[in-house]
Structure 1
Amino acid sequence: MANKKKVIVTGFEPFGEHAVNSSWVAVQELERLGLGDAVDLHVCEVPVEYQAVQRLLPSLWEQHQPQLVVHVGVSGLATTVTLEQCGHNKGYKRRDNCSFCPASQCCMEDGPDCIHSVLDMDTVSKRVNESSLGIAFSVSKDAGRYLCDYTYYTSLHLGQGRSAFIHVPPLGKPYSSQDLGRALQAVIWEMLELLEVGQKHNEHCNHQHQHNH
């Protein structure tokens, strides 16, 4: 298939009390499962460093021209697989793995306070919750003002909203790496379907629009 969809999925390296980061474990499990023949999946591990994110993300978007970039992070507070709707620009006071924190405490000078994903996470969550996966999904509008939120905001900006962020609980609390891999696979399939429907709708609208004039 010439027109394979390109999807990039990232997880984070260990930090703080997370000696093993379940996000990267889940992403590696997803890589093993794959996203089917129609999707070209590219995974990478992101350092828990603000400056590394600023370097890495533009190259991921430019080099691969993906349809969708999904970032996965761990949350010690999460008990469900949590879909984040938006990324925030300000409030970055917590130091990273290099003990660095942005002097401005924001992602982008003069950027909007909040950027929303083009994907409606409520719809995605509803669909996967109704499936027979046996994994609980929820939606959040606060990605935590640390590297997760920072990465999400940066990616939403670079990809004009064609990005998603998924928080996963630590391993075994309650889900195994296999569970999390299957959860990511199911969610990303739903996301790609929503993007496709949106695209068709836009083409249809443009088509209609041209007829009117």
Structure 2
Amino acid sequence: MSDEEKKKTVLVTGFGPFGEHTVNASWVAVQELGQKTIPGVIIEIQEIPVVYETVKKQVPQLWEDLNPELVIHVGVSKEANAITLEQQAHNEGYKRLDVLKTCPSNNCCVEGAEECLVSSINMEKVCSDVNGSGLKVKAVVSHDPGRYLCDFSYFVSLHIDRSKSAFVHVPPLGKPYTGLELADGLEQVILSMLSQI
């Protein structure tokens, strides 16, 4: 087995612009992360538009194409002031319009699936790893990803494989972190999560 084959593929997605987020901090941080070299890891990055229908098609396709060891979706939240590790996602209640002014049918993510899916990755452990790493960024754990595209994309991935799906909210750029500081935090998040899988 070659060294390349031994490496673990980690898919990290960020979102495109929406609303007041004309530059989406999630995609900036993910692009910075994509410049990093993490030993034993191949980082695949992908920008996803803030569109329910696209998420529904593109996310399962990425799982199929890449067969990743870990999938982390990253989104921006104006409420966040730290790297926010989401433990679970919801199936219903998607009434907020995406950038194409559409909602999913029945305001639902996956017809017939349970209402809430919880990642088997222990986010409290990831949180303490990030906070103990000596980095400038701090992390917190959340149980409500917000019933928008973030929550929606997370549910799609959890429905595929909850043992290796994660979602991370980042604050807007400069509030208080730079894209590079957020990427440093995401690198630590990846290392911690991979140690659990």
The normalised TM-score by structure 2 is 0.96
The equivalences for 1:36-185 within 5 A come to: 36=39, 38-185=40-187
How far off is 1:185 after superposition?
Answer: 0.5
* Structural RMSD (CA): 0.8
Q: What code does the residue aligned with 1:124 have?
A: V
SS in 1 for 2:169: strand
5+ residue gaps, structure 2: none
SS in 2 for 1:153: helix
2:192 corresponds to: 190
SS in 1 for 2:54: helix
Instruction: Name the CA distance, whole Å, in 1 between partners of 2:186 and 2:129.
Output: 13
Runs of 4+ in 1 over 2 A off after TM superposition: none
SS in 2 for 1:16: coil
How far off is 1:159 after superposition?
Answer: 2.1
User: Quick check: which has more Rg, 1 or 2?
Assistant: 1
Instruction: Name the CA distance, whole Å, in 2 between partners of 1:155 and 1:179.
Output: 26
How far off is 1:71 after superposition?
Answer: 0.4
1:199 corresponds to: none
Instruction: Name the CA distance, whole Å, in 2 between partners of 1:161 and 1:146.
Output: 22
1:115, 1:161 within 8 Å by CA — same for their partners in 2? no
SS in 1 for 2:85: strand
How far off is 1:82 after superposition?
Answer: 0.2
2:8 corresponds to: 5
User: What's the % identity of the aligned pairs?
Assistant: 49
Deviations, residues 153-205 of structure 1 (Å, cap 9, x unaligned): 0011112431100000000000011100101001111100111xxxxxxxxxx
The correspondence for 2:36, drawn from 10, 33, 50, is 33
Moved more, 4-13 or 126-135: 126-135
SS in 1 for 2:153: helix
The normalised TM-score by structure 1 is 0.89
